[in-house]
Structure 1
């Protein structure tokens, strides 16, 4: 699957050594745990945990997730033998666990609802189930009588990113189709610039009008597309990135440092992509994939589990025990989700299946990363 003949860097880096030994599994788990820690702090409102949000950012973690997706999903499409193969891999990877979490929440939370069962299983319940199963979480984010006493009544406020992620999946075939027929770099830069411009305009409108709705729109597509495209661009130009990695990382670190005090919205997404993919592709930390991929489970399970702990009346007297309990329960649930649901739907060619087989054979070579 080659792009424009004669264009510089035309040969895709599908067999690049760094795609066989990388840190993406570990990186995504750390990003998911970051979101879990921040949400536990924000949902609880425990003052003693305020320091967590001082050095961790769920916003940056989500943006980093989109960068990694841009790199790996475009690579997955370029590796796929057909559109059907690509679609099958994406559905197998994301939907079984997602369906399980939504269904468990809809059914299991009847036990903690303040409403009688006839009122609980009402039209609102059906609306929640249908909206969330189709990634339209914003239509109905609550269940009758559930978490009404919590600071936020939403059942699973982290699921909004899955809608964006699915839209990325849908857009990849069109994006790659265009990249194969137009000059690659100018097109990537154009999409990147349009995405940043869209988000910048809406954030400016939110600041001027005080209307938070504009800020919410900026978090959706195409506002988040710049992070995805930045990751995709570094996939296509991976050999160049590797040759100039010190320069790229130095400039990216400088941009992010300045952005901390003076926002640089046109440069921040690319700078973040460089740093994220540097840690994903360099400084190899071992074959973490042999244990499985718990990051997705952590991400889609942590919010309702935190809400359940708070609903049980956890007080602010033991904030750090609350945080440790929330993280432990989430990780345990993610391990169960992986072993009982997620890996059962993967193809034998999946990175995680092959990683386990490779580990059992005591081979040091890791198979190409896929998600």
Structure 2
């Protein structure tokens, strides 16, 4: 039994492309300290890239995992998706930053570099004064994705044989509460930072994608082809209630509506992504290279024009896709296309 065309034909590549582009806008305004009104901030974060990535990851990766019982295949596919492009980006980062006059000849590099290749991203002391304070700030979510990848099989292994979906709903509630608790007073700045950069406060977004995949939301009439309605609901909520509801509750509700909206967008005019992108997925490249380009521009005091930043990032992402990502992704073992749904 194969997955139906209903599942496979979607706009996730396009949504990831837009999400990665939103992150460029976010970091551009953030790192250049360009002031925005409250309404401007609300519009900027109307389609927040990172939460969108996490929801889509939960949706697609859980579908892949459920359709193949091989942990070996699961690990291989996940490694091929993350590491080749990441390694290329780290190497290019070192080369480019060295060209701008920074030396990496420190004892600290002997520890830092292997850890970067593993995916435990952090900025070494000798680079904290570079650019906007990081050699590539956008890579902070890579360790989170890796933690999600480890947690997902554990969640399935620990799940009861009956009521697996309810198990994931319970986990969603648990981690949503954990996300709220992190924002409450009482934590030292150091502890709060450690928790924030762990999977704990973000895992509920990934779990939202898992749950929506398991209940086959994409088949439902209130979702399929109804993107406009979900966009209106989401936009009205986000733009009118941001200052009237307690921020933690507001964010949680907003992200739940966002998750439904993302799935609806993926399955409304589902051929759109194929028509616009031709099966190419440059979103990962956009995400991992824009931070490097931006921090180098800041360091070198290059006048930063947003369209130039975007186009330069797109060019780097296209090269990453053609030269690195696509060749390695061809080595992935196809699970979603050949295994039964669940």
Q: Structure 1-normalised TM-score?
A: 0.77
Give 2:129's aligned residue: 148
Aligned counterparts of 2:252 and 2:318: Cα–Cα separation in 1: 38
Question: What is the count of residue pairs matched by the alignment?
Answer: 328
Q: Deviations over 1:302-350 (max 9, x none)?
A: 00111111222124xxx5xx11111111110000011111111123677
| Residue 260 of structure 1 pairs with residue 248 of structure 2 | no
SS of 2:220's equivalent in the other structure is helix
SS of 2:17's equivalent in the other structure is helix
| Residue 136 of structure 1 pairs with residue 136 of structure 2 | no
The structure that has the greater radius of gyration is: 1
Give 2:320's aligned residue: 337
| Residue 122 of structure 1 pairs with residue 109 of structure 2 | no
Aligned counterparts of 1:332 and 1:185: Cα–Cα separation in 2: 41
Q: 1:238 aligns with which of 216, 225, 240?
A: 216
SS of 2:296's equivalent in the other structure is helix
Give 1:83's aligned residue: 71
Alignment CA distance shift 1:48-1:178 (3 Å)? closer
Aligned counterparts of 2:46 and 2:112: Cα–Cα separation in 1: 25
**What is the deviation of 1:198?**
0.9
- For the 8 Å contact 2:22–2:47, the answer to whether it is kept is no
Q: Please, what is the CA RMSD of the aligned residues?
A: 3.4
Aligned counterparts of 2:43 and 2:78: Cα–Cα separation in 1: 33
Q: Deviations over 1:56-106 (max 9, x none)?
A: 139932111100000011011122351111111111111100011112212
Aligned counterparts of 1:160 and 1:59: Cα–Cα separation in 2: 19
SS of 1:113's equivalent in the other structure is coil
- For the 8 Å contact 2:46–2:238, the answer to whether it is kept is no
Matches within 5 A, 1:1-371: 15-46=3-34, 53=41, 55-57=43-45, 60-114=48-102, 117=103, 120-138=104-122, 141-142=123-124, 144=126, 146=127, 148=129, 150=131, 152-179=132-159, 181-205=161-185, 211=189, 213-214=191-192, 217-218=195-196, 220-239=198-217, 242-245=220-223, 249=230, 253=234, 256=238, 260-261=242-243, 262=245, 263=247, 264=249, 265-284=251-270, 285-287=272-274, 288=276, 290-315=278-303, 322-347=305-330
Aligned counterparts of 2:99 and 2:156: Cα–Cα separation in 1: 47
- For the 8 Å contact 1:252–1:274, the answer to whether it is kept is no
SS of 1:137's equivalent in the other structure is coil
Could you list the runs of 5+ residues in structure 1 that have no partner in the other structure? 2-13, 352-365
Q: Deviations over 1:225-272 (max 9, x none)?
A: 111111111101115861343699499637656652313255333222
Alignment CA distance shift 1:349-1:266 (3 Å)? closer
Alignment CA distance shift 1:304-1:231 (3 Å)? same
**What is the deviation of 1:177?**
2.8
Alignment CA distance shift 1:298-1:130 (3 Å)? same
**What is the deviation of 1:223?**
1.1
Aligned counterparts of 1:281 and 1:68: Cα–Cα separation in 2: 13
Aligned counterparts of 1:367 and 1:251: Cα–Cα separation in 2: 36
Could you list the runs of 5+ residues in structure 2 that have no partner in the other structure? none
Alignment CA distance shift 1:305-1:50 (3 Å)? farther
- For the 8 Å contact 1:36–1:302, the answer to whether it is kept is yes
Q: Deviations over 1:18-37 (max 9, x none)?
A: 32221000100010011012
Alignment CA distance shift 1:51-1:193 (3 Å)? closer
SS of 1:340's equivalent in the other structure is helix
- For the 8 Å contact 2:290–2:313, the answer to whether it is kept is yes
Alignment CA distance shift 1:190-1:306 (3 Å)? same
**What is the deviation of 1:193?**
1.1
